[in-house]
Structure 1
Amino acid sequence: MAITAAMVKELREATAAGMMDAKKALVECDGDMEAAVDWLRTKGLAKAAKKAGRTAAEGLVAVAVSGGKGVAVEVNSETDFVGKNAEFQGMVGSIANAALSVNTVEELAVANIGGKTVTEVVTEKVATIGENMGLRRMAALEGDLVVSYVHNAVTDGMGKIGVLVALKGGDDAFGKQVAMHIAAVNPAALSEADLDASVVEKEKQVQMDIARESGKPEAVIEKMIVGRMKKFIAESTLFGQAFVINPDLTVEAAAKEAGAEITGFVRLEVGEGIEKVAEDFAAEVAKTMGS
């Protein structure tokens, strides 16, 4: 029986199994959905499926650099404690190394680690450690020189915030300073040209509304907006921000002094954009005791 994408999707939604596991189960069971569910259970994947409904907003970001390519990956877990687990850290490190050979998170999910796909490795670790976890994001950066930095690293190359910086000219020391700046200040884009036009337009409208509340003439408001938008762009872009190492210089000016051109950057922080469910400590303990 031909296994369709819709069948794989249906089984994944029913069991929360990984894509490759769901497909394999359907192949093994000749498309029989109920049998495929049982197959997943017998392979020890049902435990992972039970965990999949929980919010995984903790975990680690790991970075790896080889030659002129750097990668950053985010692997999530339910609790911060797992991020300190050596077994989990070893898995995340292996995933980061595998990412050096691919370009997208979809490719990484099916990349090989010790004869298994990354998705299979993560699923098995869910069953071993007992928490929901998953590969969430990957970013790659190439350049003449790529420098990595991890803020508050829990072990070599991984922590809560991972940064990559690509340079032409300059050296590792300056690249690390820029990466530390990016970790701390979190610029939205490299330069004004890289800013999302819709974000800029929205900010402009907000500033115009604020200025009009003052009752000043439109001609005055237009001049006010020019200054405010110039400040917004400077504060939002890496090139325009005051360099944390030397606030008298912008990052762009500091790069020129260092004989470097910053050609790109990546910043990943664990849990960005994930809505966490707030629970008080007593409720969390009660839930754990009841599980």
Structure 2
Amino acid sequence: MAEITAALVKDLREKSGAGMMDCKKALQETGGDMEAASDWLRTKGLAKAAKKSDRAAAEGLVAGKVSDDGKTGALIELNAETDFVSKNDTFQAAAREIAGIALTTEGVDAIGAAKTAKGETVSDMVTNLIATIGENMRVRRSARLTVSQGAVALYLHNVQGDGVARMGVLVALEGAGDPAKLQDVGRKIAMHVAATAPLSLSPADLDPEVVAKEREIQTQTAMESGKPREIAEKMVEGRIRKWQEEVVLVKQPFVMNPDQTIEQLVAETAKEVGSPVAIKAFVRLALGEGVEKKADDFAAEVASMTGQA
């Protein structure tokens, strides 16, 4: 039987994308035969897939795609347990395919039931990925924006491969002007959104609970200054307006030209294309936001295999 070295395990892991300990087990079971070990991973993996479903998956990729006519855009977040998997070609290809499906299918459940190019459902494709790679995975979120006329622009930040990144932003610009110009401006606004993470498109879109909380904070601060109540209330209104300029997209100073707000940029664009232009919506998906992450000691795993533990 061939010696099961760390280098052999590493080669199988790079070839299959499976977890380190799974690769070691596969090689032990097959006497160090690389091809047989790959087959072992595939046949044994499906039985293990269900057992991995409760493990935290906060890494992975955000994938984005825009339709050929430029009027629809989609983002999806495909999660896995480790950053290593995000570099796997098969995982990246799956994320891109799911993003393409999301162009015509809205909602995670509907995407899961949709068919891939191979004829399997997206849910089955993800299950097979879990079996092969050895980590829990899931399509966690999706977003789709479309316009009847205009452009939907996509910006991917911290790109990991073609069409995949750690953050994705879509901006939908409604207007009858030059689509290429609207795409260009939309992408610049999407880059701005990636940098500033606005809470809403306009003041009217702000979550009332978030506004109430901010008002409460500002009221307490103003009252503690010892000002008369009528003066304190005026101070609060001014501070709320200032806060909205910081968190509302159309009120924010444009990062590429801080002397101009996003609202003014859109108005300027409308003049240039000779037609009214409006931001219909935006979406910003940052990988793993809101997911509780668990610290797994993969370094210790490597050390135990190489005799350095």
Q: Percent identity among equivalent residues?
A: 49
Instruction: Please report how far the alpha carbon of residue 189 of structure 1 lies from its aligned counterpart in structure 2 after TM superposition.
Output: 0.7
Structure 2: distance between partners of 1:86 and 1:284: 21
Residue aligning to 1:215: 226
Residue aligning to 1:191: 202
Instruction: Please report how far the alpha carbon of residue 136 of structure 1 lies from its aligned counterpart in structure 2 after TM superposition.
Output: 0.2
| Candidates 270, 290, 299, aligned match of 1:285 | 299
Instruction: Please report how far the alpha carbon of residue 204 of structure 1 lies from its aligned counterpart in structure 2 after TM superposition.
Output: 0.3
Structure 2: distance between partners of 1:237 and 1:76: 29
Stretch of structure 1 that moved more, 158-167 or 252-261: 252-261
The one-letter amino acid paired with 1:213 is E
Structure 2: distance between partners of 1:140 and 1:105: 11
Q: Residue by residue, what CA displacement relative to the aligned partner does 1:126-151 show, whole Å, maximum 9, x if unpaired? A: 11111111110001101121111101
Name stretches of at least 5 consecutive residues in structure 1 with no aligned partner: 1-41
Residue aligning to 1:11: none
Structure 1: distance between partners of 2:60 and 2:295: 17
Q: Report the 3-state secondary structure (helix = DSSP H, G, I; strand = E; otherwise coil) of the residue aligned with 1:171.
A: helix
Residue aligning to 2:164: 158
Structure 1: distance between partners of 2:223 and 2:278: 40
Instruction: Please report how far the alpha carbon of residue 95 of structure 1 lies from its aligned counterpart in structure 2 after TM superposition.
Output: 0.7
Instruction: Please report how far the alpha carbon of residue 175 of structure 1 lies from its aligned counterpart in structure 2 after TM superposition.
Output: 1.1
Residue aligning to 1:255: 266
Name stretches of at least 5 consecutive residues in structure 2 with no aligned partner: 1-42, 176-180, 271-276
The one-letter amino acid paired with 2:173 is L
The answer to whether the 8 Å contact 2:45/2:134 transfers is no
Residue aligning to 2:247: 236
Instruction: Please report how far the alpha carbon of residue 56 of structure 1 lies from its aligned counterpart in structure 2 after TM superposition.
Output: 0.7
Instruction: Please report how far the alpha carbon of residue 286 of structure 1 lies from its aligned counterpart in structure 2 after TM superposition.
Output: 2.8
Residue aligning to 2:130: 126
The answer to whether the 8 Å contact 1:163/1:183 transfers is yes
Structure 2: distance between partners of 1:124 and 1:173: 39
Instruction: Please report how far the alpha carbon of residue 49 of structure 1 lies from its aligned counterpart in structure 2 after TM superposition.
Output: 2.0
| Candidates 160, 163, 173, aligned match of 1:167 | 173
Structure 2: distance between partners of 1:175 and 1:262: 9
Q: Residue by residue, what CA displacement relative to the aligned partner does 1:231-286 show, whole Å, maximum 9, x if unpaired? A: 1111111101110010001101011111132111111110010111246xxx4433
Residue 146, structure 1, aligned to residue 152, structure 2: yes
Residue aligning to 1:48: 49
Residue aligning to 1:266: 283
Structure 1: distance between partners of 2:213 and 2:281: 25
Residues 54-133 of structure 1 correspond to what in structure 2 (within 5 A)?
Answer: 54-66=55-67, 67=69, 68-113=71-116, 114-133=118-137
The answer to whether the 8 Å contact 2:65/2:100 transfers is yes
TM-score of the two chains, using structure 2 as the length reference: 0.76
Structure 2: distance between partners of 1:78 and 1:117: 22
| Candidates 254, 276, 282, aligned match of 2:293 | 276
The answer to whether the 8 Å contact 2:45/2:132 transfers is no
TM-score of the two chains, using structure 1 as the length reference: 0.81
Residue aligning to 2:15: none
Stretches (4+) displaced over 4 A: 287-291
Instruction: Please report how far the alpha carbon of residue 288 of structure 1 lies from its aligned counterpart in structure 2 after TM superposition.
Output: 6.2
Q: Residue by residue, what CA displacement relative to the aligned partner does 1:159-210 show, whole Å, maximum 9, x if unpaired? A: 0111111112352211110010011111111001111111101110111112
Number of residue pairs the alignment of both structures matches: 247
Structure 1: distance between partners of 2:267 and 2:111: 36
Q: Residue by residue, what CA displacement relative to the aligned partner does 1:30-61 show, whole Å, maximum 9, x if unpaired? A: xxxxxxxxxxxx88533112322321101111
The one-letter amino acid paired with 1:286 is A
The answer to whether the 8 Å contact 1:60/1:92 transfers is yes
The one-letter amino acid paired with 2:129 is K
- CA pair 43-284 structure 1, distance change in 2 beyond 3 A: closer
The answer to whether the 8 Å contact 1:149/1:157 transfers is no
